[in-house]
Every structure is written in structure tokens, then in C-alpha cells.
Amino acid sequence: MLHCSLSCTGVVGPTVSPILAFLLRLSRPQSSPSLGVHSKQSLLPFSSLPEDFEVRMHSVHKSLCVLLVLAAPLAFLYLHVWSPKPYSTVDLRHQLDQAPDQLLKDHLLLPDKKYAHIAFRVKEEILELLPKNSCRCVVEPSMNLPFQRQLFGQVYSMDFATAFSPSELPDISNKREREYRNYRQRSHSAADQLLIVRANSPLEYPSQGVEVRPLQTILIPGLSLQSADRELYQINLSATMGTFDVAAEVEGVKVEGEGEMHLTLSGPHLDNINRQMQFVTYTNTLFHPNTADTVQFSTDGHQATFIIRIRYAPTPRLYNPGSSRGGASGEYNISALVTIATKTFLRYDKLRTLIDSIRKFYPTVTIVIADDSQTPERVEGPYIEQYLMPFGKGWFAGRNLAISQVTTKYVLWVDDDFIFTPRTKVEKLVDVLEKTSLDLVGGAVREITGYATTFRQQISVQPGNEDGDCLRIRQGYHHVIEGFPSCVVTDGVVNFFLARTHKVLQVGFDPRLSRVAHLEFFIDGLGVLHVGSCSDVVVDHASKIKLPWLKTESEKQYAKFRFPNSNNNSLITKYSLYYFKNRFKCMTGY
């Protein structure tokens, strides 16, 4: 019986010792009034116990042994699932934010004590190019030239704070600043920190490029110590979101802190220390899908910092390109690669003209239509999908709906009053996106007068102060694309563009912009979209010229929605979004 108890104890192990002790106490003869046993001194000798006591005790012990064997796996499961683990509670609350660093510090040009004896000359023309966190939207005075507006565009300046009344502006500004701080805390991680490797350090380490997936383990590459001879070498590693260990133990090296956030390696031989560092591992223990851990790496009198990026590898979103039709002009299967999307409102005659023109050149390309007309008309035909919306829902809401239904790699956006011609070569735009890093490429829209516009815009944001940043828009582009002489890189294009579907969905269209909107999509896409423009792919624009007495009721109603009067709040809505959502205080452009 004693053997059985010991075997059960061995099976259960130390993790259930409290349960085992309790059960063993139950198996021992205790004080019992029925037996006349009241204390340790009054225990009866074994020989004086009843005759069947040994039989009863044998049965009890046997039952307890079976119970322990059955309880062991349950106890192990309990401890494995519910036992406390590192980081069982994760603090995802925003930490106190620090004020943004001044990009051009005030004391930068003041003499430093160490270099006070060295003369220098300030280059004002270069100094003016540096950001100062104090932008302003001011229109510089210029000469009045004939046809200046027609040739160079209208110069303008806008203050977005005027979208709010003086009484509500302070509250709006406070709310905007609070949301901006939260945005910065959400979008910044240790991977965004500036790390400067100090000179003459004996430590070698990776400055960037080390990446681990959440809760996984990697070998840390590039760790080494280049130090002068000494009796004892020691290096230390510290992290905040993971633990260190070693994949192998090197002779003559003492390792302390395995499986912890702080690891120390020490030993008398430098080569052994360096060999041991080749086996150092990092395991992420605090889950986050996309962040970074800051690792402190130090030895006597020297310290370095490097980043380990923690993130899931982005999941691919691949599209079947279909079978190629062969030939130089038919290299791409446009029907498998491209969906044409448009938004219509009350203009079914122009929409049907657009569809007819598309079918002359691309008879099997899918056309997706978002329609928020008051009395919708059914638009039928092969490869046509029409989605109805609430009346007057708006321009950008329609874009969102139409593009959300696209399942091809690319989406070609067109207005409902465009007309395809032999110059509307979608293949050329596909070729540009297939062979470059661009996410979106626009074409040109030709008016009935013969003038074609690409509407190329350069968009930039200048850092400001607590009042917000400054938005600057001007016509032009950055540079020509090699291999495509008719194409350039820019920031905004006309309403005729081919784009990678997933990138457009990533940016989206703000549905609050219902009537007057276009460049807002490209402004929201700054830093996300790589934009180009090609002038040799042209679509025609249906004539807008029509005598007033010949306009239909639908055309009159459309004009009322499309061109709101001065009492309409569309521009106020746009400026308020610039001010609050994008944190702009003003805008200049031409």
C-alpha cells in the first residue's frame, strides 16, 4: 500500500502537492469519537484496532490511489491553461505623449563649448529650406502679368479655422489636439525612433533589419565585441517586450538570465564570448501585431541601442491575371485584370453613351455602377453591375460602394459622361502599373474644344505648430518615369485613373464629401499612394455646352446638385474636415 501511494505521488508531481497533501491527510486515521481517539497520546495500538480495519483501510487507499491518478492529468491541464503567465495582463492604454521635437532647434547655431573656437558661415538660402515647425499660408506678392490666371492658375490662400464660428472654435481645437495626440500614440512605435550609433564603440550590432513575428523566436544576427585584452569580458542585453536565451552553450562562457528580459554573458576569452553571441536568441512574449522592441546592448563603459521589429508579415492579396492573348498590343487580359467603375446621378443618357463606347473596345470588361438617383432606371447588359444607393447619397460614397465590389487587380475610374475612343488605351496604363512601383496612374481627359487636361498636382504638407500644419497644392509633377516618356510621377491626377484595387480601398473616400470633392482622396493618400500620370492615354469628355431652354428636367436637377449655390455648406464641410480630420490650419495653392 505504501508503494502505491509513492507511485501516485510520483505521477502527480510537485505541481499538485497541495492536493496530494490534502488527500493523504484524508487517508490517515484521525481522531474519532467513535473510536475513542482524542489526541496523539491517546492513539490506539494497531493490534487493538477492529479486525476489519485493515481491510477497510486497504480499500480506502486503493480508491485514493485511483483518484490521484485520474486527478493528475486534470490538474496538469488546469495549471497549463489557467496558471499565471508572463504578461497575462497587457496595458494597451496610451502613454503620455511627448511634444514633437523641433526639426530645427533654436540653439543649433549657437556656439558649442567644445567647438566655440571654430568659425562658420550660415548659408541663409539653405537654412530657409529646413522645416521649422512654424508654417504659414501666405500668398507672396507678384507682378500682374496679362492672362496670368489663365497661364499660371489662380494663387489662393485659405484659413480652415473659418469653417467654425468663434464660439465653437476653442472646443473644436481642443478636441482636435486630443485626437491628434491619440493618433500619434497609435501610429508610432520604437521602430520610428531615431537611433544614433556612437563612435568608437567596441560593440557590433544590427542597426536595423531584424524582424520577428509575434510570440516567435529568432537568432539575433551581427552581435560581436571588439575589445582590448582584459581579464574578464562581459556583455549585457536588455529588452522590454521579449526574453533572451542561447541556442547553444559555449565552453568557458557564463550565461545568466536565460529566458528573461536581461541576459548577461561573461568569460575570460573574447573569442568564446563572440562565439556565444552567435547563439543568442530573442523571443517575443508581449503580443502586438505590429510594433518594435528596443534592445539595450552594453559592455563596460559602452552602451548601444537597436530595434527588433515585431510584426506579422503582410498577407498577400493576389489576383489571377487570366490567360494572355498574346501579341504586343494584347499582352494583358484586360477583362481579367481590370474592372471599370463609375458613379452616376440622373444622367442615364450619358451613362449609356459611356457604356456603348466602352463596349466598342472592351466588350467583356465588367462595369460597376453606383447609382443614387431619385428614380433609378435599370441599366442592363452583359458584364454590368448596378448598385442602388439612397437618393443623393453623394459622390465619394458612390466611389466607395462601386470600388468595394471590384474583384480584379485593377480598377479604372471614369466619370459617367466620359467617352472611350481609340486613344483610350487601358493596356498602356496596365503596362505602367505592371512594370513600375506606382499604385495609381491617371490619363488625360479631352474636352470638346480639343484641350486635354491631366490635372497633375503636387501636394505637400509643411509642419506647423499647435495650430496645425499647412497644406500646399500646386500644379506640376516631380519627374518623368524612365521607359515611359509620356508619364510622370505626381501626387494628384484627373478623374480618369487606373489603380491597384487594394490600395484604393486602403485609402478610401470620405462619404461626408458628397458634392464637391476630388483632391481630398489624394490628400488622404499622401504617404500611401505612389501616383503617376500619362498624357498619351486619353478619354473624351461629353460636351457640357447646351442652351438653357433645351435642358431636360433631369439635367436641371443634376446641375442644382452638382453646382451648389453659395448658401450650400459643401465647402464648409470640406474645410472643417481639413481642419479637424487632417489637422490642417490653412492651405495655399495655384
In sequence order, the 6+-apart residues with CB closer than 8 A to the CB of 562 are 345, 515
Per the prediction, the chain carries an average pLDDT of 80
Q: What is the pLDDT of residue 114?
A: 61
pLDDT at 258 over 90: yes
Band (22; pLDDT cuts 50, 70, 90): very low
Which range is least confidently modeled, 80-84, 149-153, 174-178, 243-247? Answer: 80-84
When comparing pLDDT for 56 and 498, which is higher? 498
* CA proximity to 157, closest of 471, 468, 457, 458: 471
User: What average pLDDT score do residues 385-397 get?
Assistant: 92
- Helix (H/G/I), strand (E/B), else coil: 358: helix
pLDDT tens digits, one per residue of 541-558 = 987 666 665 666 666 666
Of residues 577 and 131, more confidence is placed in 577
Average pLDDT over residues 66-86: 58
Q: Is the model more confident about 185 or about 242?
A: 242
**Can you give the pLDDT at residue 9?**
38
Instruction: Give yes or no for residue 78 having a pLDDT over 70.
Output: no
User: What is the 3-state secondary structure of 260-329?
Assistant: ECEEEEEECCHHHHHHHHCCEEEEECCCCCEEEEEEEEEECCEEEEEEEEEECCCCCCCCCCCCCCCCCC
Report residue 7's pLDDT band, with 50, 70 and 90 as the boundaries. very low
Looking at residue 132, its amino acid is K
Residue 109 scores a pLDDT above 60 = no
The pLDDT assigned to 569 comes to: 80
Cβ contacts of residue 200 below 8 Å, gap of 6+? Answer: none
| Mean pLDDT value across residues 360-375 | 95
Residue 112's pLDDT band, with cuts at 50, 70 and 90, is: low
pLDDT bin (cut points 50, 70, 90) of residue 180 is confident
39-48, 306-315, 505-514: least confident range:
39-48
Return the exposure string of 534-559: e unless at least 16 CB atoms fall within 10 Å of the residue's CB, then b.
bbebbbbbbeeeeeeeeeeebbeebe
Cβ neighbourhood burial of 223 (10 Å; 0-12, 13-18, 19+): buried
DSSP label of 460: E
Residue 38 confidence class, pLDDT cut points 50, 70, 90: very low
Helices (H), 131-242: 148-152, 169-187
Q: What is the predicted pLDDT for the residue at 199?
A: 53
Instruction: Give the span between the Cα atoms of 501 and 508, in whole angstroms.
Output: 10
Give helix 570-580 / helix 169-187 axis angle, nearest 10°. 50
Q: 330 falls in which pLDDT band (50, 70, 90)?
A: low
Whole-angstrom distance, CA of residue 253 vs CA of residue 270: 10
162 DSSP assignment: G
Comparison of pLDDT for 9 and 590, the residue scoring more: 590
Whole-number pLDDT of residue 409 = 93
Of 562, 567, 414, 440, nearest in space to 496 by CA: 414
Average pLDDT over residues 432-459: 95
The Cα–Cα gap between 363 and 383 comes to 9
Higher-scoring residue by pLDDT: 563, 137? 137
Q: Sorting pLDDT into bands at 50, 70 and 90, what band is 102?
A: very low
pLDDT computed for residue 285 by the predictor: 95
pLDDT band at 88 (very low <50, low <70, confident <90, very high): very low
What's the confidence (pLDDT) of residue 15? 40
SS3 48: helix
| pLDDT tens readout for residues 477-528 | 999 999 999 999 999 999 999 999 999 999 999 999 887 789 999 999 999 9
Confidence class of residue 423 from pLDDT cuts 50, 70 and 90? very high
User: By CB neighbour count within 10 A (0-12 exposed, 13-18 middle, 19+ buried), where does 88 fall?
Assistant: exposed
8 A C-beta contact, residue 194 and residue 305: no
Cell of 91: 496595458
Q: Indicate the length of the chain as a whole number.
A: 590
| 482 vs 395 pLDDT, higher one | 482
pLDDT of residue 326: 42
Confidence of residue 178 (pLDDT cuts 50, 70, 90): confident
Q: What is the model's pLDDT at position 186?
A: 61
Decide if pLDDT at 530 tops 80: yes
Cβ atoms of 222 and 206 within 8 Å: the answer is yes
Higher-pLDDT residue of 189, 34: 189
Q: What sign for the dihedral angle of Cα 472, 476, 479, 482?
A: positive
What Rg, from alpha-carbon coordinates, does the chain have? Answer: 37
The residue among 394, 371, 384 whose CA lies nearest residue 340 is 384
